[in-house]
Structure formats: C-alpha cells, structure tokens
Chains A and B, each alone.
Chain A
Amino acid sequence: MISSPPRRPRRGLSLSQREAVWAYVFLAIPIAFFALIRFWPALQSFYLSLYTWHVDPARRRFIGLQYYRELLENPVFHQALKNTLMYAAITVPVSMLLGLTIALMLQSVATGRGAFRAIYFAPYITPAVAVSWVWGWMYNYNFGIINTLLIEWYVFLENFGLERLAIAPQRFLTNPELALVSVSVVVIWQQLGFQVVIFLAGLQGIPRMYYEAARIDGATPWDLFRHITLPLLNPVIVFSVVITTINALQLFDQIVNINFTNQGGPLNRTLSIALYMYQEAFLRARLGYAAAVTVVLFLIILTITLIQLRITQRRVEY
C-alpha cells in the first residue's frame, strides 16, 4: 500500500495543473477587463493621436506626427504645460514642508493628536468640485470673506494710524498674476492632510531607541532630525513627492469649478493640461489632437515614476 503510485485525479490533471486551471478561471473576467478597459484604450490613444478625428473610423485620415508638431508650436499648449509645472512646483514643496512640520508637531503632543489629525485630513476626502465652489465664493472680489476681512483689518489698523500694514483687497481669480497661486492654495489646503497622515505614520515607524541612543551620545535636537528622522523618513518623502506631483500634473476639478464662467482663465493663466485636453476633445471635437496631448502627459508621468523607482531602490541601511 505505501509503495503504490499516487492516485491521479480524474481527467488526468495533476494537482498543480488543476491549481493553474482554477487560477485562470478566477482571472478570466479581470484579465478581459484589464485588456479591454486599460491596455487597449491606452494603445488606442497613441493610435488616435496619429489620425484626424471622425466618428466613422473609415474616414479618419493618417497624418503621422503632425499633431505632435502642432504641440511644439501651439502657444496655448505651452501655457498649459507651463501652468501645470507651476502647480507642481508650488503645491508639492509647500504642502510637503507644511505636512512634515505639522506631523512633527503632532508627534510631540499627547492629547488631541487624533482629533487634530482628523481635522487636517478631512478636506482630502471631500469632493474637489464642491470644495472649489466654496473657495470661489471666499475668493469673490466684492463679497468674498477674504476681501471683507482684509477691509476689516484695514479699518482696525486705521485706529492706530498703521494703514501701511494693511493689504488691499485682491482679485484672486481674475488677476492673471494671482489666479494660479489662488488655485494652488486650494490644492494645498486639500492635500495637506494626506501628507500629515503619511508623515506621521512614517515618524511613528522610527524606533525610539535610535533617538535615545543618540541623545546619550549628546546629540542636539537638530542632529536628531538631520541624522535620524530625515534619512529614515526618506522613502516616505520620495513616495509623497511622487504622489503629489502626479496629482498636480492631473489637476482638473478645481480649475473647472473655481472660475466656472472662464475655465482656465484669465488669459489661460490657470489652464492645466487635463483641462486643455478636455476642451480640445469635447468642446472642439479634436479628439486626435487631444489624444496627442494625453500621450505627452503620460510620458511626463512615466518619467517621474521611473525616477522614483531609481531613487527608492537606493536604500538607507542602518
């Protein structure tokens, strides 16, 4: 009995073959989904960007890289690209520095940490569309609360003859010099909580004994931060930079809704790549050209992701 050969399951499948068959039975629908809804459309974007658009595929005309050549020359696209990079250049470092500072402060307070964390995090999960309308109302030139407070502040300072310290009411959303910064403030306000939460988790993952050991060796608080906190937080920082940069490159909801009657304005100074793509594709029916825009956006995001992989593979070992 002991030496008898193992009984093979019916239908002649070995156990490992049976497992493989089941795996593919489970994966059938998901594989079809990823192929048809993710991969095929991504490839189709490349394809569409080489043709003029027509609803009937037979009447699409091949034009090669002509749309890409147009991108090189189109000043509106250049403005959109420049704005988008500006959004990233403003929102990423500011929200990161604020997020790290707040996380460090949260770590040192014992009571109320959870409540503070929740308050800072709440804007991150609220719908950007509604939030942008609220900020649009606060930014309103004539009736917005921010300008109202600036006037109250002026009146208050007048009592002491200190008018010079006052700030004049601003056209936050219609001044071309200011509009992009005003939108960036909303973005920072919304994603700050994300940074706080992941930095706080990163900080709490650093073993206490490192700090204690360094303190015994006479390290100052700055030494602790510079030589323990920062290097050990490095992977979290890289992750957060990449996520927030990619988010900034895809800004859309805020820009459409904060200045609905002049989306992307004034003078295209808040126009983002995503909004530009939307306008070209769905308002001007230039789907081929818009597809070329998205290919460029994809290449930018791909580059950033690859850089992230390079950096995170260089580990900090202790």
Chain B
Amino acid sequence: MALATEPLRRGLRADAPRRFRRPNGWVVLSYVLLTLGAVLMVFPFAWMLLSSFKEYREILSFQIWPERFTLVNYVEVITKTAFPRWFLNSLIVAVGTTTSVLFFCAMVGYVLATLRFPFKNLIFVLILSTLMVPTEMLVIPWFVMSVEFGWVNSYWGLMFPGLIPGFGVFLMRQFFQTLPRDLFDAGRIDGVSEFGLFWRIGLPLVGPGLAALGIFAFIGNWNAFLWPRIVGQSTSMYTVPVGISNFSGEAATQWNLIMSASSLAIVPVLIVFVIFQKQIIEGVVLTGVKG
C-alpha cells in the first residue's frame, strides 16, 4: 500500500513541477552552447578546405566561399613536391609499426596475463616504468645509435623506436586477464602448442583490444613528428608531417598550397576517424579511465 502511493505523493509535492521544468531549460541551453562549440571546433577544418580550393589571388581577399573550386593547388602539391613519396613513406612506417605493435604487445600481454614464470611481476613493472620516460630523453641516444649503425634515412630507422610500446603491453595484458585460465589449461590438455594457445585461442577473444591498439598505433605513427624529423633527413625519406613542415616553410606565403598540403595530411585521418569512430572513442576510454 505504502509503496503504491509513494510515487503519487511525491508527484503531488509542491516542488515537483519545478523538477520537470528545470531540466528543460538546461537542455535547451546545452544544445545552444554545444552547437556553438561544435562550430568553433569544425571551423579550422572547414577554413582549411575552403582555402585549399581557392586560387592564390583569391586567398588574400576576404571571401569565405571560393569563386570557383579549383584543384590547381592539389595538382601543384602532388606534382611539384615529393608528397606522393612522403605519403607512401608514412604508409609503410605506420603499417609496419602497427603490425609489430599488434603482434608483440598481444604476445607479451598474453604471457604476462596467463603464464606462470619467475620474475613475472618484475618484468611487468619494468615495462610499465618505460611509460614515465619522455621520448625527448630517448631521441638523442637513438640518433647516436642510428648514426653508428647506419639507420639514418631508412625505414628501419623511422620505425624501430615504436615497435613495442609499453602502453600497448599494458592494454593487452588487461584484456587477456579477463579470460579464464581454464580455457588455456583445457587447450593444453587437448595438445594445443603453447604458441597455438596464444594465436588460436587467446587472440581471437581480444578483438576489441586489438582494434583499439591497432588504430592508436596507426594514428600515432602517422602523426609522429619529432623522431621522423631527426632520423629522416633526405627529402625522399620524409614522412607526411616532416614533408608538410619543410614544404610549407619553403612555400612561405603561398597559403593556398600550404592549406591543400595540410588537407592531404588531415583528411585521411578524419576519414579513418569517421569509419572507426566507435572503436577509437572506446579505446580512449579503455586506455584512459582504466589506465
């Protein structure tokens, strides 16, 4: 009886209508402010694209919309610079590094989460401790090393620092820890090899983790600037960010060319983001809040 009447009594209280009105005002205000903010967030991208379709004389006159959309800037960037080569370099470096990251981080994560062996915790703590060392502190010894072994201006030189990131190991270990141990013990009794336990039983069950890690490794390597700038010194070994940086420095005031070069670097990432939006945002949450 008391339970049934309780909601009714609450509904009849004097402050009840206010509780319903207040959220509405807040919701309307939220939509207005969120829309305004969204316009500010998108504006630089929109302005970049619009500028990239304008001719040189037009870009210096205030005009939001191009008189006519022209592709001359893109044609010039692609034919008169080594942009296609930089794009290929970035692709090779990002795909190569991502492949290594996925394989090795998953393997180390699997071993740390499911196998029993001496010094396991020490190894895990040491790997985690590498997260505290800023890249800036490593680039000088990496460079010294690269000069010594002739890795300057090579794909290996561009790739080697990122092959097994500590955060990837941590992420994959988290995923493998959610799997029951019995699963692997059962596999062992059935005669599955140790590598098979990882490759055929463990790996297929951590798909979301691999997706998040793979996307992050790809984007991170695609955007990287500090190390590629140091180790990729000849024009033919630039990655896209290094190429854009140096090309734009030379193009000086030809902002239409700089904007089309920037678009060529940014738009592919935005397309990847639109396709994998869900995995990317979930990945940020996973590595973020849980990390």
Query: Which A residues are within 8 Å of any B CB, using their own CB?
Result: 16, 19-20, 22-27, 29-31, 33-34, 37-42, 44-45, 48, 55, 102, 105-106, 108-109, 112, 116-123, 125-131, 133-135, 137-138, 140, 143, 145, 148, 152, 189, 192-194, 197-198, 201-202, 205, 215-216, 221, 235-236, 239-240, 243, 246, 249-250, 252-253, 256-257, 260-261, 273-274, 277-278, 281-282, 287, 290-291, 294-295, 297-298, 301-302, 305
A189 B44 Cβ-Cβ under 8 A: yes
Chain B residues with Cβ below 8 Å from A198 are 284-285, 288-289
Chain B residues with Cβ below 8 Å from A40 are 141
A297 B137 Cβ-Cβ under 8 A: yes
B269 A277 Cβ-Cβ under 8 A: no
Take A33-B163, A108-B30 as given contacts and tell me if A294 and B269 are in contact as well, using a CB distance cutoff of 8 Å: no
| Residue from the list B41, B136, B143 in contact with A274, Cβ < 8 A | B136
B249 A148 Cβ-Cβ under 8 A: no
Chain B residues with Cβ below 8 Å from A19 are 115-117, 194
Chain B residues with Cβ below 8 Å from A281 are 139-140, 143
Q: Mark B6-49, 1 if CB is under 8 A from A, else 0.
A: 00001000000001001100110111011001101110110110
B116 A20 Cβ-Cβ under 8 A: yes
Residue in chain B with minimal CB distance to A295: B137
Bound-state CA distance A146–B140 (Å) is 39
Classify the secondary structure of A's interface with B.
helix
Instruction: Count chain B residues whose beta carbon lies closer than 8 angstroms to a beta carbon of A.
Output: 96
Residue in chain A with minimal CB distance to B242: A129
Take A108-B30, A298-B134 as given contacts and tell me if A23 and B41 are in contact as well, using a CB distance cutoff of 8 Å: no
A134 B117 Cβ-Cβ under 8 A: no
Decide yes or no whether B179 CB sits under 8 A from chain A. Answer: no
Bound-state CA distance A216–B22 (Å) is 16
A109 B27 Cβ-Cβ under 8 A: yes
Classify the secondary structure of B's interface with A.
helix
B136 A297 Cβ-Cβ under 8 A: yes
B281 A33 Cβ-Cβ under 8 A: no
Take A16-B116, A143-B60 as given contacts and tell me if A129 and B141 are in contact as well, using a CB distance cutoff of 8 Å: no
Bound-state CA distance A301–B236 (Å) is 35
Bound-state CA distance A240–B285 (Å) is 11
Sample of 12 further A-B pairs with CB below 8 A, known A20-B115, A197-B285, A277-B136: A23-B115, A31-B123, A34-B166, A38-B130, A38-B138, A48-B140, A118-B281, A128-B225, A133-B261, A198-B288, A240-B288, A257-B248
B38 A119 Cβ-Cβ under 8 A: yes
A120 B30 Cβ-Cβ under 8 A: no
Bound-state CA distance A190–B289 (Å) is 19
A83 to chain B, nearest CB (A): 15
Bound-state CA distance A15–B72 (Å) is 68
Bound-state CA distance A112–B219 (Å) is 26
Show 20 residue pairs from A and B whose CB-CB distance is below 8 angstroms, ordered by the A residue: A16-B116, A26-B111, A42-B138, A121-B281, A122-B45, A127-B222, A127-B244, A127-B266, A129-B244, A130-B265, A131-B44, A134-B266, A137-B259, A143-B59, A192-B41, A197-B285, A274-B136, A287-B140, A297-B134, A298-B132
Bound-state CA distance A24–B242 (Å) is 39
Bound-state CA distance A279–B41 (Å) is 32
Bound-state CA distance A138–B258 (Å) is 12
Take A26-B108, A130-B244, A133-B258 as given contacts and tell me if A116 and B140 are in contact as well, using a CB distance cutoff of 8 Å: no
B126 A261 Cβ-Cβ under 8 A: no
Bound-state CA distance A256–B246 (Å) is 11
